[in-house]
Structure formats: C-alpha cells, structure tokens
C-alpha cells in the first residue's frame, strides 16, 4: 500500500448553520433517531468510512439566542475530501438534516457539489485543535489493535507455553518470524512516518519563542552595556515603552477581573442556586453519558463583553493552539492523557466560545483532570467567558479560577448541550491503548537489546 505524505493528516471541521425558525424540535428528533443507531446506521454510515475518528451533531444557540446546528468532524485528510465522500454515501440524510437549516440549496437543481460547497462555506474550523496522536489514521489504529491481539493470541495459545522459559529477545524474534510468515501483516514492518510537527514541533516553538526573547535580551544589552549614547538611550526608551505597555495591559486585566469580582459579589442569586435552577436542563446530557467507555462534551460559553476580553481570548487561544499542536502531540495534553480530539472555536458572531471534546472515561474524571493537571490553561481560556454560574474568581488570567472545584465543575456543566449524534471510530480504545499498540508495532520492526525486548514484551 502506498504511503502518502501526512504532515497535516487530521483535520477539524465545525459546520455552523442557523436552524430555521420552528424547526428545532423536528431537527432534534431526526438527530436523536440517527444518533441512536449511529453504530450500525446505513443512513449516516460513518462506521463504513474509515477516515473519520469522531463526529457529532448538536444544537446550540449563538449570542442572539438563535439555535444553530453544529456538525463536528475529526477526519483523516482534508475536510473537503471527507465531506465529498459523505455527501456521496449519505446525500439524502445530509439533505434531510440541512433542510431544517437556513440557506441550504434548494431541492431543484441541487448537485452534490452545491451541498459540499454549502457545508464548506459554513465551516468555522477550530481556533484550538488538539489531536492526541497527530498523524495517526483510523485505519492504522485499527490495524495496530488487530496486530496486538494477534500477538497476544500467539503468546496465550496453549501450545506455545514453552515460550515462557525463553529470553525476551528470543520471544521477540519468534514473534517477528510469525508475523513475517503472514502475508496479511507485511505492513507491520513498514515504518509509519511521523508528521513534521511531531518530529520538529518542540524545536520550532523554541525557535519561535527565541526570536522575541533574543530581541529583548539585545535591548537590555544595548541599554546597560557601554556604547554610543544615542543607542543606549533608544534601547532604554524602548524597554520602558515595552515594560509600560505590558504593565498597562496587566493593570487593565486586573481592573476587568476586579470588576467581574464585584459583579459576582453583588449577584442577586447565589451561583449554587442559579446552577440548581439550570440543572433541570442536564437530563438530556446525563442520559447520554457513560454509555461507552468514552464520552463527548459539546458546550458553549458566552464571551465576556468588550474588545479587551475578546482580544485577550483570541491571544490565549492562539497560544494554546501552538502549544497543543507543536508540543503536546504525543498522547497527552499537559499531563491529561485521556483526550482523543478536542477543540475550541469562536462562533461567527464573536460572542460564543464552543468547546468540543472526545475523551476517555467519565465527565467527573475529565473535569478532575482539568482542575488537577491543567487549571492554568483552562482558567486562561474560560475566565474570558461567562454563563449562568459564572466563571470562578480569577487573578492575573491564570490563577484561582478552575482551582475552585465546585464552582468550576458547575460552570463546565452549565455550558453543556446534549450531543444528539455522536460517533467514535474506536470506542474500545483509550488514548493509552492506542499508544501501546503503536509501540508494539514499532518494536516489532526494531532490533531490540535484552532490556528493550523485556520492555516491549510488557506491552503485550
């Protein structure tokens, strides 16, 4: 099988379309029906398309309260190619869904190309896109799972128990021979290319950060080292301007945060009561949770008013996007090893911050990970947003906030909507499982010393 270049292997699309007035209930019913049978559905056959990792449909309101249909895709290769295929295999269902949305091409003379163009035109992408295993395709993940099961079956076979008495290297060699003799498994020895951003991402970020860093260092050097008086004073002035600007920004941030705190203290209704009243909406969300080992979050929070907050949020999202894409692209996001695909995206009206995540385990354990392992990152993003609960009090953008466990969990819940359709290509594989399977395959093709052979065997 020819291997294509996959430097930008997975794509995220977020198709955001307004629902027609009075069509909300019909659309919800249709989506629920499709969602109930997503594992076997011929109407929406994600299960037969081996290029989609996760997909979902949910309905959420924009800043003006207008309900929008959100179609999330995490796919191998470009979004357009996937959507073309989807329209090809499920055109009637796509029509059925999007006829409840504004602006869908009219029935007469509608071509598949029109539909794809319409969907692409409404794709708002992702401001932050996190992929646990950058560059790993669905097909590869499934094959590697089969390979591991095959190797385990060989080891567990009653007739092969003599292997236990042999050295790890000998067992490794024996397994390699078994695989070599199987023409179906030749792919296992073909190295899987690692995407550019996985190989070089950390270096690139370091280099990128070095440029402004060196610039400042240079200014400091010019300001303090003996030299031409004009140069020294220009450098000093630049440093003062830089420091002043930063100081002014921090001061503005703090005054925004203090104003938020004052409003919070003056709340007419305590956040616990607001949450208790709101949580009547939670039934639809809870009824879909913990059905499989993986779960989905679809949520939208209101971005705090004013250009300062929206500007700051975009800045933070940009930084998180770089960190997520170039540094944390090997199975964990700052210590959280349970996220397969996640994104933040700002709605086109600029008023809502959508969060979508496909993760292992329960909501409670996921939110616990947020608080225990990445409170700073989550606070940096969500402290710029608001909902009926209100984000917990935050200092200097990053501190406090998510560490207020009870309120942060209530805040997280209060933005959620029910995911009507949710598809996972590998509901039985955790992020750690995928990593282990990958390492089994890589180790199979490698020449292992005794210690490495023992470490490899532990994976089986």
**Cβ proximity to other proteins, 299 vs 347, nearer residue:** 299
Report the nearest approach of other proteins to the CB of residue 223 (Å).
41
Nearer to other proteins by C-beta: 247 or 293? Answer: 293
With H, G, I as helix, E, B as strand and everything else as coil, classify residue 423: strand
Closer residue to other proteins (CB): 81 or 155: 155
Q: Given the complex with other proteins, which of 125 and 361 has the nearer CB atom?
A: 361
What is residue 304's DSSP assignment? P
Minimum CB separation from other proteins for residue 449, in Å? 15
For 243, counting Cβ atoms within 10 Å of its Cβ (0-12 exposed, 13-18 middle, 19+ buried), the class is: exposed
Token pair for 26: 């019909």
Least spacing, CB of residue 101 vs other proteins, in Å? 30
Minimum CB separation of residue 345 from other proteins in Å reads: 28
Q: Which residues contact 281 (CB under 8 A, 6 or more apart)?
A: none
From CA 253, how far away is CA 439, in angstroms rounded? 45
- Tell me the backbone φ, ψ of residue 129, rounded to 5 degrees: -130, 120
**Nearer to other proteins (CB atom), residue 245 or residue 287:** 287
Torsion angle of the four alpha carbons 28, 34, 35, 39, in this order, in degrees rounded to the nearest 10: 180
Q: How far is the CB of 361 from other proteins (least distance, A)?
A: 6
Rounded distance, CA 28 to CA 57, Å? 10
Element (H, E) at 251: helix 229-265
Q: Which is nearer to other proteins, 200 or 272 (CB)?
A: 272
Q: Closer CB to other proteins, residue 163 or residue 442? A: 163
Q: What proportions of the chain, in percent to the nearest 5, are helix, strand and coil? A: 55, 15, 30
CB of 358 to other proteins, least distance (A): 14
Residues 6+ apart with CB under 8 A from 130: 324, 325, 328, 333, 339, 341, 342, 343
Q: How far is the CB of 113 from other proteins (least distance, A)?
A: 42
Strand partners, 399: 395
Burial grade of 148 (CB within 10 A; 0-12, 13-18, 19 or more): buried
Nearest distance in Å: CB 106, other proteins: 42
Which chain residues interact with other proteins by CB under 8 A? 152, 155-156, 163-164, 166-168, 171, 272-273, 276, 279, 286-287, 289-291, 293, 332, 335, 337, 360-362, 364-365, 368, 371-373, 403-406, 428, 430, 432-433, 436, 454, 457-458, 460
Query: Between β-strands 352-360 and 399-400, what pairing exists: parallel, antiparallel or unpaired?
Result: unpaired
Whether the CB-CB separation of 193 and 3 falls below 8 Å is answered with: yes
Nearer to other proteins, 8 or 273 (CB): 273
Cβ(13)–Cβ(72) below 8 Å: yes
Consecutive H or E run containing 206: helix 196-224
Q: Which two tokens stand for residue 283?
A: 């039934």
Decide whether 420 or 436 has the Cβ nearer to other proteins: 436
Q: Measured from the CB of residue 373, what is the shortest distance to other proteins in angstroms?
A: 8
Token pair of 89 as six digits:
């295999």
């Amino acid at each position: 099988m020819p291997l294509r270049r996959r430097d930008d292997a997975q794509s995220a699309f977020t198709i955001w379309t307004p629902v027609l007035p009075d069509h909300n209930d019909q659309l919800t019913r249709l989506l629920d029906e499709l969602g109930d049978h997503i594992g076997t559905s011929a109407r929406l056959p994600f299960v037969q398309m081996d290029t989609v990792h996760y997909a979902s449909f949910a309905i959420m309101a924009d800043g003006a309260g207008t309900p929008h249909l959100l179609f999330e895709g995490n796919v191998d290769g470009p979004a357009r190619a996937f959507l073309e295929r989807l329209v090809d295999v499920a055109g009637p269902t796509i029509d059925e869904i999007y006829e409840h949305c504004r602006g869908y091409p009219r029935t007469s003379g509608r071509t598949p190309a029109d539909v794809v163009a319409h969907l692409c035109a409404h794709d708002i992408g992702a401001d932050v896109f996190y992929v646990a295993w950058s560059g790993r395709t669905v097909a590869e993940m499934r094959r590697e799972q089969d390979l591991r099961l095959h190797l385990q079956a060989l080891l567990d076979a009653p007739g092969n128990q003599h292997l236990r008495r042999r050295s790890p290297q000998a067992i490794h060699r024996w397994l390699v021979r078994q695989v070599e003799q199987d023409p179906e498994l030749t792919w296992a020895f073909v190295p899987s290319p690692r995407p550019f951003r996985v190989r070089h991402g950390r270096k690139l970020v370091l280099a990128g950060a070095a440029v402004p860093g060196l610039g400042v260092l240079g200014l400091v050097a010019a300001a303090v080292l003996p030299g031409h008086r004009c140069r020294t004073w220009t450098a000093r002035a630049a440093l003062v301007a830089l420091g002043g600007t930063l100081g002014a920004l921090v001061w503005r941030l703090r005054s925004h945060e203090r104003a938020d705190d004052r409003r919070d203290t003056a709340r007419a209704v305590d956040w616990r009561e607001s949450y208790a009243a709101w949580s009547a909406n939670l039934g639809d969300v809870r009824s879909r949770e913990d059905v499989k080992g993986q779960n989905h979050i679809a949520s939208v929070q209101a971005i705090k008013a004013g250009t300062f907050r929206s500007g700051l949020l975009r800045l933070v999202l940009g930084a998180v996007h770089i960190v997520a894409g170039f540094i944390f692209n090997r199975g964990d996001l700052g210590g959280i090893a349970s996220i397969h695909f996640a994104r933040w995206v700002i709605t086109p009206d600029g008023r809502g911050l959508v969060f979508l995540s496909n993760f292992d385990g329960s909501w409670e354990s996921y939110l616990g990970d947020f608080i225990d392992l990445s409170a700073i990152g989550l606070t940096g993003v969500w402290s710029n947003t608001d909902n009926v609960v209100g984000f917990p009090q935050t200092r200097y953008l990053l501190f406090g906030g998510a560490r207020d466990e009870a309120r942060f969990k209530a805040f997280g819940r209060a933005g959620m909507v029910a995911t009507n359709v949710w598809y996972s290509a590998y509901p039985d594989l955790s992020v750690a499982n995928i990593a282990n399977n990958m390492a089994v395959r890589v180790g199979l093709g490698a020449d292992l010393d005794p210690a490495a052979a023992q470490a490899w065997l532990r994976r089986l």
